[in-house]
Chain A
């Protein structure tokens, strides 16, 4: 997920400065919408993001991290024990050649990754490191490693309890495993919880998976070409998304799905180039990360400040426990649902442990954050809220400056990457939202079309206005998905354990074996 308030409302405000009359009206409408939304949703947002008393640590982050720890322990460190097996599954070593042409493990993983890798990895990490210092990276990696067990749990259930229809299509996700799983265990309330999850999923899809992306993409584009009204970006994005999800113009989706992984590889490649060029500083950078993790190295909040930022970023970036990935992974063709669980645990590894860490290392090595030469600790900005940077950059601008220090033209590539990531995230979340919608309202063509049109309308709204409270609410909805999903996973994890024991025994006995390809 790409939740980071890196651009804020400045873009829309700047656009309004250019046209004062329109600005007056627009501000008036924005203010009204903001006010209504803030009044209606404020308590919900405050509840989801409420910090523990006396701290700034949001309880929802702890909820996700504790769940990841519980799943890690309950499944006996499945993310390490079955890591090699997960890689073999993705390579296709265990795929039956007679199933060729079906969705492969690799394809399901790549699709799910395109929904999570993006702005969070680029801008979000900069926010975490900028506030929590290099030490935040250590906690981010730890949370990413633990999150692998959450993904394993939810994605196994996603495949096990999906709906397979007569026409050969599939629908899966938390709403299906919650209702069917609770039913199987004889527990009450499964249907209601599934409905509540679906509602949050729709809201999350329209918000974090749509409006937030449109808003950030517009901010990125206007940052390069100059300010212009956001609705123009919105209309263009909406038209393209409409062409893909309603018009079924596969060529656009195909191009995106091919370009986005390329952008991801280019991003990691550029980070590697910078790290190789500065190889003599890698040891120092890791030293900063470890020292910062336990001392804070002068950041606001010290060690706890670093820990909060790291945990927060990992949880927000890889979506482990949110339930969205279970929808994407459930399309795979396999006789063993747990194999997709193994494959999915690679997702937080790639998203958080690899890509986020790369970003963090480049930022640390580029020395954009100012160190006090006398104390060796980081200097804080004037407000004392974050580490002072060379040009006062934060968020995506800090990442951009860090990469530019090694490869001067890279910010342009980064800008294109951000826009494409935003687009691919919208496509992914349009599907997640649609599945929740059809769970509630049925799988008819009309029902699907209604959601898709609503989705496109929200793109325009998201790009056109800086509706802070609306976006806050959307993010809260995504994390509310995690509240329902994880609550249910605690009840359903025994079903996954049964699958795991059975599969592990058959793997050990040689009953499950590799195919010769």
Chain B
């Protein structure tokens, strides 16, 4: 049986801990693939100026490039170096929703994420992405503290 583990990265230390846990787990259960995903928080229902709209495509490319080179690629190469079959995905969208959708699309068996990185007012109002993921995920979720 092939087991694919999805690791949700967020560019912080908790994301790194999630990655370390995934490595550990993958070696124990002999997972076939590790997929490192970074979701850039974005909503199609925000308000922007005309100038921002005109430059949006350019900004999007820059955001993807930055997330790939700074967060996803280092994680994927670290995994490969450790002998795992690994690949990375960067996508814009609602973090919890997109992470779940990409997991289903890529036939992931489990999602591993770090604990909430949002704090204060935002967290109180909307909950964190981790909370939302745990509430709505289609596969089991492991939250690493």
Interface positions of A from 95 to 125, Cβ below 8 Å from B = 95, 97, 100-108, 110-111, 114-115
Q: Are A106 and B56 in contact (CB under 8 A)?
A: no
Q: Are B44 and A171 in contact (CB under 8 A)?
A: no
Interface positions of B from 31 to 74, Cβ below 8 Å from A = 40, 42, 44-58, 60-61, 63-64
Q: Could you tell me which A residues sit within 8 Å of B by CB distance?
A: 92, 95, 97, 100-108, 110-111, 114-115, 167-171, 244-245, 250, 253, 257-258, 260-261, 327-328, 331-333, 427-428, 431-432
Which residues of A lie under 8 Å from residue B64 when comparing CB positions?
A: 101
Q: Are B53 and A103 in contact (CB under 8 A)?
A: yes
Bound Cα distance A60, B55 (Å): 35
Which residues of B lie under 8 Å from residue A432 when comparing CB positions?
A: 50
Q: Are A170 and B44 in contact (CB under 8 A)?
A: no
Q: List 29 A-B contacts (CB under 8 A).
A: A100-B42, A100-B44, A100-B98, A101-B63, A101-B92, A103-B53, A103-B57, A104-B44, A104-B45, A105-B44, A107-B47, A107-B48, A111-B47, A111-B49, A111-B50, A115-B50, A168-B55, A169-B58, A170-B57, A253-B52, A257-B47, A257-B49, A260-B47, A261-B47, A328-B50, A331-B50, A331-B53, A331-B56, A431-B49
Give me the 6 closest cross-chain CB pairs, A-B, nearest first. Answer: A101-B92, A104-B44, A168-B58, A331-B53, A431-B50, A257-B47
Q: Closest residue to B94 on the A side, CB-wise?
A: A100
Bound Cα distance A258, B54 (Å): 18
B-side interface size class: 20 to 34
**A-facing mask of B100-137, CB < 8 A → 1, else 0?**
01000000000000000000000000000000000000
Whether a CB of chain A sits under 8 angstroms from the CB of B93 is: yes
Q: Are B46 and A107 in contact (CB under 8 A)?
A: yes
Q: How far is the CB of A184 from chain B (nearest CB, A)?
A: 23
Of the candidates B56, B61, B63, B98, the one whose C-beta lies within 8 Å of that of A103 is B56
Q: Are B49 and A169 in contact (CB under 8 A)?
A: no
Whether a CB of chain A sits under 8 angstroms from the CB of B23 is: no
Bound Cα distance A255, B24 (Å): 45
Q: Are B47 and A258 in contact (CB under 8 A)?
A: yes
A102, A257, A332, A428: which has the most chain B beta carbons within 10 Å? Answer: A102
Bound Cα distance A108, B47 (Å): 9
Bound Cα distance A57, B69 (Å): 63
Bound Cα distance A108, B51 (Å): 11
Which residues of B lie under 8 Å from residue A170 when comparing CB positions?
A: 54, 57
Q: Closest residue to B45 on the A side, CB-wise?
A: A106
Q: Are A107 and B50 in contact (CB under 8 A)?
A: no
Q: How far is the CB of B25 from chain A (nearest CB, A)?
A: 28
Q: How far is the CB of A106 from chain B (nearest CB, A)?
A: 5
Q: Closest residue to B47 on the A side, CB-wise?
A: A257
Q: How far is the CB of B38 from chain A (nearest CB, A)?
A: 12
Which residues of A lie under 8 Å from residue B40 when comparing CB positions?
A: 101
Asked whether A102 and B56 contact (CB < 8 A) given A97-B93, A97-B101, the answer is yes
Asked whether A327 and B50 contact (CB < 8 A) given A92-B44, A104-B44, the answer is yes
Asked whether A333 and B50 contact (CB < 8 A) given A92-B44, A100-B92, A100-B93, the answer is no
Bound Cα distance A331, B48 (Å): 11
Bound Cα distance A74, B45 (Å): 32
Asked whether A427 and B56 contact (CB < 8 A) given A100-B44, A101-B40, A101-B64, the answer is no
Q: How far is the CB of B65 from chain A (nearest CB, A)?
A: 11
Whether a CB of chain A sits under 8 angstroms from the CB of B91 is: yes
Which residues of A lie under 8 Å from residue B55 when comparing CB positions?
A: 168-169
Bound Cα distance A97, B42 (Å): 12
Q: How far is the CB of B8 from chain A (nearest CB, A)?
A: 16
Which residues of A lie under 8 Å from residue B49 when comparing CB positions?
A: 111, 244, 253, 257, 427-428, 431
Q: How far is the CB of B66 from chain A (nearest CB, A)?
A: 12
Of the candidates B46, B47, B101, the one whose C-beta lies within 8 Å of that of A114 is B47
Q: Are B46 and A167 in contact (CB under 8 A)?
A: no
A101, A168, A261: which has the most chain B beta carbons within 10 Å? Answer: A101
Q: How far is the CB of A302 from chain B (nearest CB, A)?
A: 42
A104, A167, A427: which has the most chain B beta carbons within 10 Å? Answer: A104
Q: Are A107 and B58 in contact (CB under 8 A)?
A: no
Asked whether A167 and B63 contact (CB < 8 A) given A92-B44, A107-B48, A108-B53, the answer is no
Of the candidates B42, B50, B61, B91, the one whose C-beta lies within 8 Å of that of A428 is B50
Q: Closest residue to A258 on the B side, CB-wise?
A: B47
Q: Closest residue to B53 on the A side, CB-wise?
A: A331
Bound Cα distance A169, B60 (Å): 11
Bound Cα distance A193, B64 (Å): 40
B45, B49, B58, B63: which has the most chain A beta carbons within 10 Å? Answer: B49
Q: Are B44 and A107 in contact (CB under 8 A)?
A: yes
Bound Cα distance A175, B26 (Å): 58
Which residues of B lie under 8 Å from residue A332 when comparing CB positions?
A: 53
Q: Closest residue to B91 on the A side, CB-wise?
A: A100
Q: Closest residue to B39 on the A side, CB-wise?
A: A100
Bound Cα distance A261, B56 (Å): 20
Q: Are B48 and A111 in contact (CB under 8 A)?
A: yes
Q: How far is the CB of B110 from chain A (nearest CB, A)?
A: 22
Q: How far is the CB of A133 from chain B (nearest CB, A)?
A: 36
B55, B57, B58, B101: which has the most chain A beta carbons within 10 Å? Answer: B57
Which residues of B lie under 8 Å from residue A245 when comparing CB positions?
A: 51
Q: Are A257 and B56 in contact (CB under 8 A)?
A: no
Asked whether A169 and B42 contact (CB < 8 A) given A100-B91, A101-B92, A110-B47, the answer is no
Which residues of B lie under 8 Å from residue A258 when comparing CB positions?
A: 47
Which residues of B lie under 8 Å from residue A328 when comparing CB positions?
A: 50, 53
**A-facing mask of B3-47, CB < 8 A → 1, else 0?**
000000000000000000000000000000000000010101111
Bound Cα distance A46, B85 (Å): 75
Bound Cα distance A24, B52 (Å): 44
Besides A106-B45, A328-B53, A427-B49, 18 more A-B contacts (Cβ < 8 Å) are: A101-B60, A101-B63, A103-B56, A104-B45, A107-B47, A111-B47, A111-B48, A168-B60, A168-B61, A169-B57, A245-B51, A253-B49, A257-B47, A257-B49, A331-B53, A428-B49, A431-B49, A431-B50
